Chains A and B, each alone.
Chain A
Amino acid sequence: MSRYSVFSLVRNAFSYHQNWQRAWRSPDPKREYDVVIVGGGGHGLATAYYLATECGITNVAVIEKGWLGGGNTGRNTTIVRSNYLWDESAALYGHAMQLWQGLSQALNYNVMYSPRGLLHLAHSVHDMQEIQRRGNAIYLNGIDSEFLSPEQVREMVPFMSMEGRYPVLGALLQKRGGTARHDAVAWGYARAADAAGVDIIQNCEVTGFDIQDGTVTGVQTSRGRIGAKTVGVVTAGHSSVMAEMAGFRMPLESFPLQALVSEPVKPVVDCVIMSNGVHAYISQSDKGELVIGASSDAYNSYTQRGSYDIIEDTLQAICEMYPLFTRMRMLRQWGGIVDVTVDRSPIISKTPVRNLYFNCGWGTGGFKCTPGSGHVFAHSLANGDMHAIAAPFSMDRFNSGALVDEGAASAVAH
């Protein structure tokens, strides 16, 4: 892999950028791999990268039915944070947070992780109780968190309305929270994984699993059979479909989740602002677009489009927080299919089929954990045993009742 740097940019400028290498190869699939990862989103690519660079397994393929990063990775609102309530989540998202730091350098690809600060607003006594509880838990888990008074909030976010229907009574701040560039995360992992020997195979859909005596031996694809000693499925909104192919049920529901951006303007929102009370969140991209999201559609679907009402509700909430944005314009609106578990926590797990593993259920909030998820999943696949941080997220918890219920205490979980 030729390294990217200012110097390489300047050097290439003199040859009119004719000599840049491909970011990743486009190989034909081999007959067999040690590990096949199904799904070329951020989580799948990160898994492959850590397998090849940390676990010494380089005979790996990532199989993607479309273009890599084209699922939720390329559709999300890019919020990164680790201020979750339960210890198990704190360990997982905290692990990711550590990997975000230095990720651009490790991948030699600028993923633009920007810890610009993330605020959860509280609008009622009940909200205050919720952020106090969560803030204290986060603090005791050794993760940064601070309570802000309304005055401090006003100072940090000057143009937001503090009064009105939902006055701001306080906020929980995570300074290391912020955003990262979604495409860059997928491309950075893809390029580094490819450089470490991983085959990235796009436009190749997995249509079935070869299972012998309860053990997976390969996958059927639109480009033929590909053998595998171990298979990791990382297909987000399509995971229940994949589980069905493997003969078991995955406790997931798939919903459309929408987001939108405004036309770009000069900086006006510097941090990420989330409000469970008015039910919306907002940040501003480096390009200047306001990036806005909210809750998922209420019905199950695989169509990657949601209903217009959600957009209306979302913008009503945003304009309640920011009444001066009514003259701003919506530029683009889209949806992705999110895979939601009953406890709003992911599934990183062995399955009833030997050597077949699933990493899914990230629902509305998995982008932030891309490095952490890939890392613990890679180690689990390599060792044949779940990584300690991943262990609480096994499918078994739905039988035992040991849920990690992030939905029970707070509402939105992006």
Chain B
Amino acid sequence: MTQDNRLPAGGLIDRSRTLSFEFDGKTYTGHPGDTLASALMANGVTLLGRSFKYHRPRGLLAAGSEEPNALIQLERGAHTEPNTRATAIELYDGLNACSQNRWPSLKYDIGVVNSWLSRFFPAGFYYKTFMWPERLWMTYEHVIRRAAGLGVSPRLPDPDRYEHRHDQPELLVVGAGPAGLAAALSGARAGKRVVLVDENPQLGGSLLGSRDTIDGQSALDWVAGVRAELAEHPCVRVLTRTTLTGYFDYNYLIATEHVTAHLGPQASDDLPRQRLWKFRAKSVVLATGAIERPLVFADNDRPGILLASAVRTYQHRFGVLPGRRLVVFTNNDSAYSTAIDAASAGVAVTLVDCRDTAGDAAERGADAAGVTRMMGSAITGVSYRNGLQSVDVMALSADGTRVDGPVQKVPCDSACSSGGWNPAVHLHSQAKGKLRWLEDTHTYAPAACASTMPHSSVGACDGEFSLDQALNAGWAAGGATGPAPSAERVASIGALRPLWVVPCDHPVGEGPKKHFHEFQNDATAADLWLAQREGFESIEHTKRYTTTGMATDQGKTSNVNAIGILASSRGITVPEVGVTTFRPPYTPLTFGAIVGQNRRHLFHMVRKTPIHDWQADHGAVFEDVGDWKRARYYPKPGEDMDAAVRRECQAVREGVGLFDASTLGKIDLQGEDVAWLLDMLYTNAWGGLAVGKCRYGLMLNEHGMVFDDGVTTRVAENHYHMTTTTGGAARVLGWIEEWLQTEWPDKRVHATSVTEQWAVMALNGPRARAVLEALTEDDVSNDALPFMGFKEIQLAGVPARVFRISFTGEQAFEVNVPARYGRFVWEQMVAAGAAHDMVIYGTETMHVLRAEKGFIIVGQDSDGTMTPSDLDMDWIVSKKKADFLGKRSLTRSDTSRDGRKQLVGLLSEDPSLVLPEGAHVVSELRAAPPMPMIGHVTSSYFSPNVDGGRSIALAVIQGGFKRKGDWVDLPLIDGRRVRAKVVDPVFVDAAGERVKS
């Protein structure tokens, strides 16, 4: 193919190089500087996609990020990217693009039947049907789902990476058109730390698509000068290809920068595909320009009909025009430049103006350029057959509601329209700024902004449409003192005639022609009226009912037209209709950019103990516990988990075992009031705890429910070492801080997390002391270090804290050494243990051993609905203390009643059957559910140590204490019915002798 629509000269493209690319399997060429859109236009390709609902053929509407139609599936395989606007894709060599939402091909699309049947598919039709018969909805829905959607999601992992960066500019300027450049330059001269962002690859904004003069030079030369000067300032950062997408509270803004995304799959691997910037800006200047809105005329969606400003941009920026015979339809003066410039390039231009007269300069310019003008007229129809053939033009009545007179057919191969301009107020709105309606230009512009998000809007995005004013306002916003750059003052829009719906030869909505205000979702003026008729009066209702503004362009070209159409049909003013909220993001941004580098191993950090690597080397199987990796068991060759755990369990009770308990939460508490604090945090009394002693405690939440437990030790006079559950560490520290900071700020306590500062090794079993003694000269005898005692010793040449506490019911020593010695001391213990046949065991064995003793695990045997009494732990609740957290709630009627769920043991009838955890006990066994539940199994294991080996379980059962000795039923989800006997939850050493040995 040749680039037939490329102009012989002009444009900011590099004609010395030719790039080749593919669209829907055909190969075309373009130049560096092209977008996919401009290159396709150069090649005369106008049909680029199909619309969402009616599958109507669609081409380009715009040249920028407001494009609703030309959505492309860019690249294939792992690099594929659905719904990408052709206007935002910079051309690179080898680019591969496909059209979307069509089958079997773009030209012959089955979905077009929707268009033939469109009469039966008005707005909201799906609420009114697909209801019979009920069971068929899922089938209808299946079809609807397949027809909906646009592009195709990637099906392969993303080969690219993304990253985040932060900056705190004094002045953040969004948009590098004339207003933004003036603001940035002025800010830079005033010595501010400036960041300037623009979504385009070049600076210049609207200047790139026009032919203006600034400070006596061509606008592009002026831009080059500003660029050069900004580059000199060390405190100025200019980010192109960077879209500011979100404006949040307290001037927190995010922007996505395309670092290599515009280079396609062959981009370098060293750089991220996109970078997300997070700005906290002292002040923000929005210079985001304005977006042209189309006129809503009959069949205005046909491929080849663009926005007037887009045609001008294609001409000046890309050296391409959509055809040889162009019709420009307008209600204001701005489109005259499009007509004049196109005519100067040799295109036959007909200008249809719905006004009887235009501005003087505009009229003169058009006439001089040889543009045919049809004043007081409107386009009333479009002939389209594999391309635009002609448009019908008729005279418009004075009130704009009718057309009459003869139909004039104007042959053409392209057309464009201008219905006025909408300042891009999106970011202002995101910042909770209010809007004001401008009566002369018929558009919304920014009004007051929220004090928490100080910013100003300048230039076209403030509703100022002349270049001169844009430069002035930008300059003033930047803060410099010198004279502002200047340009000739021209009235760019002139007197705009609002014409929200252009009538045609049949009543709008009552014939074959469709008047689209919203292209992608196929919403028409008639849909808006239907919504009104049916009572969806609030603009939010109208939006949702007709899906206006809910497409991927978020209504950039459609919202104001919709509001205008509603206002004119209801006979009220536009402000009376109200506006919908613009929500972030301004343009869609990738999940990848939002996620940044925080993926895979950087998503949630994996926490490993100092002994982790040793464990991995010695065949441990790990489990995830919160963010921790914990060794679950250590299988010997040929062993499964059950076999390994049995061996480990037996060895601990008969000899000695070593366990890595480093994940236990550890909080260092210091200060005069720690004892007081402990009395408040725990249910039992802490007053008398001597230095060198440990005590177990339960913590309750405000409801009186157990929420953590652990042992706290008095290390020195005003210094305590608290342990918490592994999962509860952060919660407990947060809890302590919350109370200290909000309720007890006068108390002198410092709480510091030291979980990762200590490696913790638990020696358990009758020969535990023997192993310890092999590594220390210090006295660790029962007299020197009795049960619930604490001592600092030298162990294998390392200072160690040893706690005589036990979670197995055996003689036990919890050895804490500074984390950096952890692995060394562990290896010393392993060596010393060899003489005693010491076993290394994991969390699973730890669970079995503690369950044999009836020790609970908070979060497993209790779930935030269990009181100490429910756990048969009344003994730990002080009756004497005046107060502790949760005390008040324990006396509430429901909390103190009889018959609550209580912790018991269960022995299954078949001793080899391990009851499933989570199985429920029912009060009445029935053939099928529902069955009344009275409790459930919380922990369940095979214990090699009970009765020579049998299953044991812990459960919570209503009134369980009184049921001991009873048989209960557990109907399992797989259909089995199991019986078990309620027993005391202590299965081993009920007298508690061994722990003290």
Contacts and interface: CB of A to CB of B under 8 A. Distances in A.
A312 interface: yes
A179 B530 CA distance: 27
B591 interface: yes
Contacts of A328: 82, 153-154, 590-591
A326 B588 contact: no
B585 A9 contact: no
Interface in B507-560: 507, 509-511, 526, 530, 533-538, 540-541, 544-545, 550, 552, 554
B595 A315 contact: yes
A10 B894 CA distance: 60
Of the candidates A18, A142, A397, the one having the most CB atoms from chain B within 10 angstroms of its own CB is A18
B172 to A, nearest CB: 16
Contacts of B893: 399-402
A312 B599 CA distance: 11
A409 B864 contact: yes
B535 A287 contact: no
Contact of B138 (A25, A115, A265): A115
A114 interface: yes
Contacts of A264: 52, 83, 148-150, 552
Contacts of A266: 146, 149-153
B647 to A, nearest CB: 20
Nearest to B158: A326
Interface stretch (A204-212, A316-324, A355-363): A316-324
Interface stretch (A55-63, A126-134, A226-234, A345-353): A126-134
Contacts of B895: 400-401
A296 B160 CA distance: 30
Nearest to B606: A165
A124 B625 contact: yes
Contacts of B158: 323-324, 326-327
Contacts of A319: 591-592, 595, 599
Contacts of A329: 83, 588-591
A323 B600 CA distance: 9
A330 interface: yes
B17 interface: no
Interface in A282-304: 284, 286-288
Nearest to A147: B973
Contacts of A311: 594
B249 interface: yes
> Chain B interface mostly helix, strand, loop or mixed?
loop
B920 interface: yes
B759 interface: no
Interface string A371-414: 00000000000000000000000000101111101011100000
A323 B625 contact: no
Nearest to B520: A264
A315 B591 contact: yes
B594 A9 contact: no
Interface in B698-722: 702-705
Given A20-B534, A266-B146, A315-B595, A136 B920 contact: yes
A263 B530 contact: no
A184 interface: yes
A70 B538 CA distance: 10
Of the candidates B703, B896, B928, the one having the most CB atoms from chain A within 10 angstroms of its own CB is B703
Of the candidates B127, B254, B583, B595, the one having the most CB atoms from chain A within 10 angstroms of its own CB is B127
B155 interface: yes
Interface residues of B, number: 113
Given A23-B536, A402-B894, A407 B864 contact: yes
B880 interface: no
Interface in A84-123: 87, 101-102, 104-105, 108-110, 112-116, 123
B158 to A, nearest CB: 4
B60 to A, nearest CB: 19
Interface stretch (B118-126, B398-406, B569-577): B118-126
Given A104-B131, A315-B595, A26 B535 contact: yes
B583 A333 contact: yes
B117 to A, nearest CB: 9
Contacts of B896: 401
B863 interface: yes
Contact of B554 (A24, A102, A187, A332): A332
Interface stretch (B310-318, B461-469, B777-785, B930-938): B930-938
Nearest to B536: A23
Interface string A42-54: 0000000000000
A328 B158 CA distance: 10
Contacts of A133: 917-918, 920, 936
B892 interface: yes
Contacts of A16: 119, 507, 509-511, 526
A13 B120 contact: yes
Interface size class of A (residues with CB under 8 A): 35 or more
B232 interface: no
Contacts of A135: 918, 973
Nearest to B510: A16
A320 B625 contact: no
A328 B595 CA distance: 12
Contact of B155 (A66, A112, A159, A316): A159
Of the candidates A17, A130, A141, A202, the one having the most CB atoms from chain B within 10 angstroms of its own CB is A17
A265 B583 contact: no
B256 to A, nearest CB: 10
A188 interface: yes
A184 B137 CA distance: 15
A164 to B, nearest CB: 7
B645 to A, nearest CB: 13
A8 B920 contact: no
A307 interface: yes
A318 B599 CA distance: 10
Contacts of B154: 324-325, 327-328
A371 B492 CA distance: 56
Contacts of B148: 264, 286-288
B537 A265 contact: no
Contacts of B80: 327
Contacts of A140: 920, 922, 929-931, 933, 971
A312 B249 contact: no
A308 B591 contact: no
A374 to B, nearest CB: 19
A4 interface: yes
A320 B930 contact: no
A354 interface: no
Given A67-B541, A333-B584, A408 B864 contact: yes
A301 to B, nearest CB: 10
A4 B81 CA distance: 40
A139 B929 contact: yes
B638 to A, nearest CB: 23
B597 to A, nearest CB: 10
A77 to B, nearest CB: 15
A330 B585 contact: yes
Contact of B126 (A13, A18, A110, A202): A110
Nearest to A331: B588
B166 interface: no
A408 B936 contact: no
A137 interface: yes
Contact of A67 (B137, B534, B538): B538
B807 interface: no
A203 B552 CA distance: 30
A364 to B, nearest CB: 18
Contact of A132 (B538, B583, B917): B917
13 contacts: A8-B128, A109-B127, A112-B126, A114-B138, A125-B625, A137-B920, A141-B929, A142-B930, A164-B600, A165-B600, A166-B624, A263-B82, A266-B151
* Interface pairs A-B: 10 shortest CB-CB: A408-B864, A132-B918, A288-B149, A326-B592, A133-B918, A401-B892, A329-B588, A67-B538, A4-B128, A401-B895
Given A66-B538, A333-B246, 9 more contacts: A132-B917, A136-B973, A142-B929, A159-B155, A188-B127, A203-B538, A265-B150, A265-B151, A331-B588
